[in-house]
Amino acid sequence: MFGVIAPLQNSIAPVANTSIAYAADDGLFIPKPDTLPGQSEKEQIEDKDKGGTYAVETLVPKITKMLIGFAGITAFLFTIVGGIRFMTAYGETEAVTNARKQIQWSLIGLVIAIFAYTIVSIISSIDFTK
């Protein structure tokens, strides 16, 4: 049994020792390997001088734009589905009315998503440091 564990102990030891090589000089930043997402050590030091505004200036607008983009794509897909429903209604007044309402509301949602994206882009481009 110990013969199986012994090779694993030798293979795990170099991985455990890599954290020692990333010791912080003055404790102002969290060390991060280049392959992981997030701020590098240089960006952390620069962000410290700005007062830690990375999340507000960068992260929140990116996430908001991504969610608004998802809403726009969803509205576009619902417009296509409404068009398919309209084409397959075969003249039934209730089905045609429901398809038109779906197209109408999905286009309204698409316009709202476009305006929301524009507003977020304008607000995130304003420099509030002055």
Residue 20: predicted pLDDT: 47
Is there a single domain that holds both residue 71 and residue 121? yes
> How far apart are the C-alpha atoms of 111 and 130, rounded to whole Å?
33
105 vs 54: which has the higher pLDDT? 105
- Alpha-carbon distances of 8 from 3, 21, 23, 90, 107, rounded to whole Å: 10, 22, 26, 68, 59
How many domains is the chain partitioned into structurally? 2
Average pLDDT, the chain: 78
Residue 19 in this model has a pLDDT that exceeds 90 = no
Query: Looking at the domain assignment, is residue 70 inside a domain?
Result: yes
Is there a single domain that holds both residue 68 and residue 27? no
Residue 42: predicted pLDDT: 72
pTM over 0.75: no
Structural domain harbouring 124: 53-130
Q: What is the pLDDT of residues 42-89, one digit of tens each?
A: 776 665 666 666 777 788 889 999 999 999 999 999 999 999 999 999
Residue 114: predicted pLDDT: 94
